[in-house]
Structure 1
Amino acid sequence: MPFSSLGLSPALQKALEDQHFTKPTPIQQAAIPAILSKKDVLGIAKTGSGKTAGYVLPILMNLQQTPGPKNRHANILVLVPTRELAEQVKNIFQTFNRALPQPLKILAVYGGVSINPQMMGLQGINVLVATPGRLLELVDANAVHLSSIETLVLDEADKMLNLGFKEEVNKIIGLLPAKRQNVLLSATLSNDLQHIHQILLHNPVVIKIEAEEDSLDDITQVAYIVSEEKKGPFLRYLIKHHEMKQVLVFASSVHQAEAIVNKLRKNNIEARAIHSKKSQGARTDMLTLFKSGKLRVLVATDLMARGIDIDALPFVINYELPRSPKDYVHRIGRTGRAGAAGDAISLVSQNELHHFEVIQKKMGKQVNLIDSENIP
């Protein structure tokens, strides 16, 4: 099915061609007509399935028939869990917005940067992409009003609720008009999500795109049994032995991420950490350096993984295992994308062996497990 059959305008179809979008993904094929029809939508599909464009395109299309907003009254609200995702969503809106005969005003707001430029930017806003905390700050300052919202999108809703935004999200929902379109998108359907689903959605179009069982086949997985005290030296051995030029390392906490970076840099391996304690400017700069291949090692926490999307990333290393098997799959899914091969390496201590067995069982794949003591 081509994009031309989904009811999008010629201008948006031309923009899709210019961006080399040849045909809609399954989530786009189902979501675009439903959102164009102003129906509520619950979309469950894995990260990287095209969910964002699936709501951006029909929202821009619908806004062309909508009168301009009253000052500081946005038409569309997109809630996201992280600053990086806010910028990604804004950029996708801007990519297609430029093609419209009457371009709209798009703004992303989030914490970690000065609030004053965001306040000034809210005049005449059409589409507001926001993290919950900063949005409530702006509402409290009367910098933006939510009483005219026509469509609410909760993007990465599973991650947002897992990160403890439920109270803030509920507060925001209470400020919205009762009559509106709701779009809820997630990689999984958890109990928390069921709760929000029941509150938010009215006779929704439910779209559930099952992940392909072979979606990890382009990733070569291997795990090494390594004691906690030897993980640092073994990580350095792997980077040097495999001559890794671009590797994403996952740590369990901000403190651990910084400790890993300090040890790598003391051993002349250029590395930086990206996590919630870094300023937005620092995070943006590090991602740019890493994506361009100018930074050899980026050490990240799970929260930051949502903003890291790199074509042909060759290596991912789990310095520690994540708590959730789903987070493990999401981590290693940063490599082996779009048909490119990738390597995912996990450092597993004796205490983590049972948890690693659970991860493999949930994933449906066995991972080659090697004792690092046998490696000189």
Structure 2
Amino acid sequence: MSFSSLGLSPSLLKALQDQKFTQAYPIQQKAIPAILDNKDVFGIAKTGSGKTASYVLPVLRNLQRNRETKNRHINVLVLVPSRELAVQVKDVFQQFGSIIPERIKTQAVFGGVAINPQMQALQGINILVATPGRLLELVEKNAVKLSAISMLILDEADKLLTMGFKDEMNRIFKMLPAMRQNLLFSATLSEDLDQVKQILLNDPVVIKVVDESEKVDLIEQLAYYVAEEKKGPLLRYIIKKQDLQQVLVFVSSTFKADAVVDKLRNNGIEATAIHGKKGQTSRTKAITNFKAGRLRVLVTTDLLARGIDIEFLPCVINYELPRSPKDYIHRIGRTGRAESPGEAISLVNPDEEHHFRVIQKKMGKWVDRIDANKINLHGF
């Protein structure tokens, strides 16, 4: 379906055309008209399905019509669970907002960096993308007012409601005006989300495009069964033998992320880790370089991976398996996006074999396996 049939303004349609966006994805086809019609929306769609643009475009359209507000009284609040996702969402708003004639300003705020520059940057902001903790800090310092908000958006609502944000979210909800439009977007549907839907949303338009487990066909999956002590050499073997130039590697801890990166670098493979113990500047630089193809390997944990959004990422490697099948599907869903094929490789040690069988059963797809113990890893 063409964007021209969804009710967007001529300037936004031209911006889409200039950036080679021609056909709307399913979540965009359903969400954009509903949001423009001032409906509350509950959207369930996997990461990489065009979810962010499905609310960015109608939000900008609505602000083209009415963006009047007092200084530091924002119009639109987008809450996200991580700094990386905050930057990503802000970038999408600015990608389109910088092209249209109306002056619509977007700012992202998050913890882990100095608060004063963020306070100064809030002058004249229409759209604020924020992590809950930093938003509350800014409210307490009277740097931003929530009384004029006309729209609240929860992006990655599943994480916002299950990662220790509950108390902060409840405090924020109490500060918001009762009359507002609410948009919730999530990759999964859980009981917690269903309860929040009943509290926050008024007769919402529920959009469920497709469950991630139903969209793994574009991803070529392969599992190497290997002893734990051989995972490092096997990872380097795969990267070098397949000449992988852009690969995202998942591990379970910050310690393991740093250890894997050290071994890769010592063997001539350019790699960087991002995790909660890294400074925001280094994390942003690593993600920027990785997206631009200047960094060959990025090693990350599940939490930090939420902000890594690359349309044509060719390969994901699970150095260690995640705890849940849903997290596994989310990880491999970083590749095979926007209808493009991708490869997902898992390194499975003997202790992980039972868990990997559970993951495959939940996914409804059995993964081809290779006995890596028969591979000559000498020199890797």
What TM-score does the superposition give when structure 2 sets the normalisation length?
0.94
What's the offset of the Cα at 1:154? 0.2
Report Cα offsets for 1:14-64 as digits up to 9, x if no partner: 111112121221111111111112111101111111111111111111122
**2:4 matched to 1:4?**
yes
Instruction: Give the SS at the match of 1:174.
Output: helix
Q: What is the alpha-carbon distance in structure 1 between the residues aligned to residue 241 and residue 26 of structure 2?
A: 41
Aligned to 2:343: 343
Aligned to 2:33: 33
**2:274 matched to 1:268?**
no
Corresponding pairs, count = 376
Q: What is the alpha-carbon distance in structure 1 between the residues aligned to residue 55 and residue 339 of structure 2?
A: 25
Are residues 268 and 24 of structure 1, via their aligned partners in 2, closer, same or farther at CA, if it must alter by over 3 Å?
closer
Identity within the alignment, %: 66
**2:251 matched to 1:251?**
yes
Q: How does 1:72-221 map to 2 (within 5 A)?
A: 72-211=72-211, 215-221=215-221
Unaligned runs of 5+ in 1: none
Aligned to 2:52: 52
What TM-score does the superposition give when structure 1 sets the normalisation length?
0.95
2:224/2:370 contact within 8 Å kept = yes
Report Cα offsets for 1:71-104 as digits up to 9, x if no partner: 2111110001111111111111112212333211
Q: What is the alpha-carbon distance in structure 1 between the residues aligned to residue 312 and residue 125 of structure 2?
A: 36
What's the offset of the Cα at 1:330? 1.8
Q: How does 1:298-309 map to 2 (within 5 A)?
A: 298-309=298-309
- AA aligned to 2:32 is I
Q: What is the alpha-carbon distance in structure 2 between the residues aligned to residue 98 and residue 272 of structure 1?
A: 31
2:27/2:50 contact within 8 Å kept = yes
- AA aligned to 1:34 is A
- AA aligned to 2:44 is I
Instruction: Give the SS at the match of 2:48.
Output: coil
2:213/2:363 contact within 8 Å kept = no
RMSD of Structure 2 on Structure 1 (CA): 1.7
Which deviates more, 335-344 or 197-206? 335-344
2:88/2:307 contact within 8 Å kept = yes
Unaligned runs of 5+ in 2: none
Are residues 83 and 273 of structure 1, via their aligned partners in 2, closer, same or farther at CA, if it must alter by over 3 Å?
same
Q: What is the alpha-carbon distance in structure 1 between the residues aligned to residue 258 and residue 12 of structure 2?
A: 44
Q: What is the alpha-carbon distance in structure 1 between the residues aligned to residue 226 and residue 19 of structure 2?
A: 45
Q: What is the alpha-carbon distance in structure 2 between the residues aligned to residue 212 and residue 301 of structure 1?
A: 20
1:79/1:131 contact within 8 Å kept = yes
Instruction: Give the SS at the match of 2:307.
Output: coil
Aligned to 2:236: 236
Aligned to 1:290: 290
What's the offset of the Cα at 1:213? 6.8
